[in-house]
Amino acid sequence: MAAKSQKKITSKKNKKINILQDPRYRVSLAFFLAFVVVYFLISFTSYLFTWKTDNIEWIDVFSSSDLLVNNIGGKLGAFLAHTFIYDWFGIASFIIVGIIGIFALRLFKINIPNFSKIIKVSIVALFWLSLFFGLIDLLAVNKNFLFGGLQGLAMTKWLSAFMGTLGVSFLLLLSLIGIFIYGIPSVWSYLEQLIKPKAIEEDVMIEEETEDENKLSEEDPVLQDEQEIVVDFSEEEHEEIADDNQQQGQLSDEEDDELPEEQEEEDKEIISATDNEDEDTMTEQDAQDDEKQKEEFDDVDFEVEVAEEEETSEIIGPMPSEKYDPTLDLSFYKYPTLDMLKKYDNEGVDVQKDELEANKNKIEQTLLNYGIKIDKISAIVGPTITLYEIVPVAGVRISKIKNLEDDIALSLAALGIRIIAPIPGRGTIGIEVPNAKPQIVSMHSVIASKKFQEAEMALPVAIGKTISNETLVFDLAKMPHLLVAGATGQGKSVGLNAIITSLLFKKHPSQLKFVLIDPKKVEFSLYNKLQNHFIAIPEDADDFVITDVNKAVHTLLSLGREMDIRYDLLKKAFARNIVEYNEKFIDRKLNPQKGHRYLPYIVVIIDEFADLIMQVGKEVEMPVARIAQLARAVGIHMIVATQRPSTNVITGIIKANFPARIAFRVPSIVDSRTILDQTGANQLIGKGDLLIAENGNVKRVQCAFVDTPEVERLVDYIYEQQGISPFLLPLPEDDKTSSVGGFGDGDDGYERDALFEDVARYVVENQHGSTSMIQRRFRIGYNRAGRIMDELEEAGIVSASDGSKARKVLVQDMATLEQILKA
C-alpha cells in the first residue's frame, strides 16, 4: 500500500515537471519569450539614445498618459531599460536578452550544442562585463553615461577600496582568461599543448580505451544503460532512455509469455535496466526496489524545481538590518571641485604699516582735540576694513566718543567709518576704517577654508570674511530664515550667488532642493540647468526658475501645502523636526508604504521681493509669513531679498519672522533701521561690504566674490552629470486658494477667479457686496478681492463703482444667478 501511495505522489509531481512536454504550453511559452526578446531588444537599444530623458520609476509606468517618454517601448520599455542598464548591469544587460533568446530556441526544439555551458558562461560574462565597464566608469573623469550600471560601479568601488584599482584590473584579466578556458575548449587544448607536450600521447591512449569501452557497451546492454544513466541530465536524453527501455521490455515479452501484464508495466517504468539474462527471474521485491529508486530520482528533480523557485523570489531593496541611504539614487554624483572657482592676485590682507600708524595718530589726535584721552589702541586688519580698538581713560563717557563719528571720518578723509561703542564682550570701543587698498575675498578662499570644509551643519553657508580675516560660516537651518537688503549694485546678487554656491559645494541633490523666484527674470537664469538635481517646482509649473508674479504666489501656496504634508508625516512618525524624522527613516523605522519618505531640505530664495509686494501685495506676503512662521521644523527655509527695504515692503509681519538679516549698503538711516533695527548699513562702503545680524549680534563682513563664469562652470559641471527628475511638490493647492490672482472661464477670453461663483452666490444671498466684505469673508488679499468685484460687475451681478457708495446687487434671486453662471 505504501508503494502505491508513493507511486501516486510521484505521478502528480511528474505532471508538474512535464507540463512543458505538452506542445500547447511549450509553444505558447516559446512565442512569449520570443516577444520578450524583441521587446527588450527594442527598448534597450532605444534607451541608448533616450537615457537622458527617460528616467522613470515603477510608479510612473502606471501614471496618467500626461507623462511622455521617448523610448520606442513606451513607459514600460523605458522603465525596464532604465532598471537593467542604469540601475543594474549597464550595456551588459543585452546578454540577458541573449539568454532569454536561447531558452526560446530551446522551447522551439532547436538543438543548441553545449546548452548548459552557454548559459553558465553567459551569466559569468554578464557580471564580468558589468565590473569591467564599472571600472571604466570609475576611472572616467566626466561621465555622462554609466556603461557598467550602478551595480557594476558599486562593486568596482568596493573592490577598488579592498584591493586597489590595479588589483581589480588583474582580477578581471585573470577571470577573463578563465572564461575563455572554460567556454572555448580549443583554448584549453592549446594551453595544454604548451604546458605538457608529452600528455598528447596519453590523451590518445585514453581515447583508444574509450573507443574500446564504447564497443563493449554496444555489445553489452547493461554497460550501455549504465553509461547513459551517468551522463543523463537533460530531458531529451531521458526520453531516449525511456524509449530504449520500452523496446527492451517488448523483447522480454516475446521471450517469456508467462510474465504477468502488471509486471510488464512495472518493467517499463524502471530507469535502470538489469541484465537481460536475469529478467526472467526478476522478483517482485526487486521491481519494488527499482521503482523506489525511480521515485527517489523524481523527488530529487522536484526539489531542484523548488530550489529554482526560491532563487527567483524577489528581494526589493537592501535587507531590513541595513540603513537607508538617501544618496543611493545618485551614488555616482560627484561634488564640485575647487578648481572651478577663480583665484585672484590681490587676495588676502595687504595693509602697509605706515597706513596703520597714520590712521592711529589721526584717531588719537581727533579724540584729544575733544578732550578724550586714550590708554590703549590696537588694530585688527581685515581684507577691506581695519578695526581700531581703543580703551579710553577712566571717566570718559562712551556716548561722547559715539557722537564724534563724523569728525573722525573727516580727519581720516574716508567713507564708511563706523563706531561700535562698546564692542560686545570686549570692553573696548571699536572704530572701523576702510583700507586704502581693499583686497578681494574670493569664493575659492572661503570654500577652501578649513572652517567650511569641516563644518558639520545642516545647511552650511560661507558668506565671506570678517574684519579679523576669518571665514564666516553659518547654518541657514538654525537662522532659520534670512532677510537680505541692499541698494542696487552694492553686492546683493553676488551675496545670493555665494549662498547658493556654498550649498552646492556641500550638499547632495537628495539632501537639498531650491525654489528660486526671480521677478527680474535674469538673476537666477543660470540655475535652470540644475533642474534634474537641485530644483523643486510645483506639479503644474512650466519653468524651473519662477519669473511670473502670479506663478510665484501659486508656488508659495504649493510650498504651504508641502509644509502641511510634512507636518502630517512628522505627526505620524512621532518626530518633532526634520532631523528626528529623517533619522528614523534612515534607520528604517518608518514604512514607505504608509506614505513616509526621506525629506530633503528646501531653500526658497525670492529676489526682488519689493516687486512682488508692489504687484500682488498681501497675496504674497501672507504665504511668505505663514511659511516663515511654521516651516522651520519641517526643513523649509526662506531667503528674501529686496533693494528697497522700506516699511511697506519689509512689514512688521515679515520682520517678525525673519530674525536673521543681511544688509548691504543702503542709502539712508531709515532703511538701515528698517532692515537691522539700527544704523550702520548706511555707512558701508559697498562692493560686498555687509552687516549680518543674528541673535542680536551684528558683524561686519566682506562678502565673497563669485563671478558669473564661475557660476556657469559650477552649474555646467552638475548639469553634465546624470540626474533624476525634478523633485515635484506632491500636491497642488486647494481649489479655494488656487488661481490666486488667477482666473476661471470668462466671456472675454480670460479665466475668472476660482472663487468667482462662491462670491457671486454669497453676494446675491446677502444682497450686499463690497471689496472689504469679500476680503473678510473669504480671507483673501485686497487686490484679489477687487478683481473678483470687477468680474461680478462684468457679469452683471453688481453695479459699477460709484465713489464711496456701496455697489448695488443687480440679481435678486438665486435662480437668476444660476442661469447667469451657466451662461
What's the rounded mean pLDDT across residues 761-778?
83
300, 333, 362 — which closes off a domain? Answer: 300
Q: Are residues 547 and 413 located together in one domain of the fold?
A: no
Q: Are residues 52 and 130 located together in one domain of the fold?
A: yes
Q: Are residues 499 and 643 located together in one domain of the fold?
A: yes
pLDDT over threshold 50, residue 171: yes
Looking at residue 197, its pLDDT comes to: 47
Angle at 274 between CA 268 and CA 280, to 5 degrees: 80
pLDDT over threshold 90, residue 495: yes
The residues facing 545 across adjacent strands are 516
**Domain-located, residue 751:** no
**Domain-located, residue 328:** no
pLDDT over threshold 70, residue 291: no
Q: pLDDT tens-digit profile of 649-681?
A: 888 888 888 989 999 999 888 888 888 888 888
Looking at residue 319, its pLDDT comes to: 41
Q: Are 820 and 811 in contact (CB under 8 A)?
A: yes
What's the rounded mean pLDDT across residues 148-176?
81
β strands within 425-481, DSSP E: 429-434, 460-466, 471-475
Range ranked top by mean pLDDT from 199-208, 370-379, 411-420: 370-379
Q: Which three cell numbers stand for residue 359?
A: 590712521
pLDDT classification of 285: cutoffs 50, 70, 90: low
Looking at residue 273, its pLDDT comes to: 41
CA atoms of 787 and 752, how far apart (whole Å): 9
**Lowest mean pLDDT: which of 449-453, 736-740, 810-814?**
736-740
**Domain-located, residue 736:** no
Angle at 348 between CA 346 and CA 354, to 5 degrees: 90
Number of folded domains that form the chain = 5
Q: Are residues 685 and 816 located together in one domain of the fold?
A: no
CA atoms of 130 and 566, how far apart (whole Å): 39
What's the rounded mean pLDDT across residues 619-642?
90
Q: Are residues 558 and 677 located together in one domain of the fold?
A: yes
Short-list 259, 226, 675, CA closest to 492? 675
pLDDT over threshold 80, residue 387: yes
- What torsion do the CA atoms of 74, 78, 81, 83 make, to the nearest 10 degrees? -140
Short-list 23, 132, 41, CA closest to 84? 41
pLDDT over threshold 60, residue 97: yes
Looking at residue 717, its pLDDT comes to: 92
Buried b (16+ CB within 10 A) or exposed e, 450-485: eebeebeebbbbbbbbbbebebbbbebbebbbbbbb
pLDDT over threshold 70, residue 284: no
pLDDT over threshold 70, residue 7: no
pLDDT classification of 265: cutoffs 50, 70, 90: very low
**Domain-located, residue 733:** no
pLDDT classification of 808: cutoffs 50, 70, 90: confident
Q: pLDDT tens-digit profile of 576-613?
A: 999 999 999 999 898 888 888 899 999 999 998 888 88
- Name residue 451's amino acid: K
Q: What is the DSSP letter of 730?
A: S
CA 556 to each of CA 486, 549, 559, 578: distance values in angstroms, whole numbers, following the listed order: 24, 11, 5, 20
**Lowest mean pLDDT: which of 125-139, 301-315, 597-611?**
301-315
Burial class (CB within 10 angstroms; exposed 0-12, middle 13-18, buried 19+) of 823: exposed
Q: CATH number of the domain that 782 lies in?
A: 1.10.10.10
Range ranked top by mean pLDDT from 90-94, 185-189, 277-281, 471-475: 471-475
Q: Are residues 60 and 145 located together in one domain of the fold?
A: yes
> At 359, is the secondary structure helix, strand, or coil?
helix
Q: Are residues 547 and 645 located together in one domain of the fold?
A: yes
pLDDT classification of 202: cutoffs 50, 70, 90: very low
**Domain-located, residue 377:** yes
**Domain-located, residue 321:** no
Q: Are residues 539 and 468 located together in one domain of the fold?
A: yes
Q: Are residues 31 and 101 located together in one domain of the fold?
A: yes
Q: Residue 772 is part of which domain span?
A: 756-822
Percent with pLDDT over 90 in the chain: 16
CA atoms of 484 and 662, how far apart (whole Å): 5
**Domain-located, residue 247:** yes
What's the rounded mean pLDDT across residues 416-443?
83
Looking at residue 63, its pLDDT comes to: 66
Q: Are residues 473 and 509 located together in one domain of the fold?
A: yes
**Domain-located, residue 743:** no
195, 216, 247 — which closes off a domain? Answer: 195
pLDDT over threshold 80, residue 225: no
162, 195, 228 — which closes off a domain? Answer: 195
Q: pLDDT tens-digit profile of 514-570?
A: 999 998 888 888 898 888 888 888 766 677 888 888 888 888 888 888 898 899 999
What's the rounded mean pLDDT across residues 755-783?
82
Q: pTM for the full model?
A: 0.54
Q: CATH number of the domain that 415 lies in?
A: 3.30.980.40
Looking at residue 12, its pLDDT comes to: 46
Measured in degrees and rounded to the nearest 5, phi and psi for residue 322 equal -85, 150
Q: Are residues 28 and 92 located together in one domain of the fold?
A: yes
CA atoms of 637 and 559, how far apart (whole Å): 11
Q: Are residues 666 and 629 located together in one domain of the fold?
A: yes
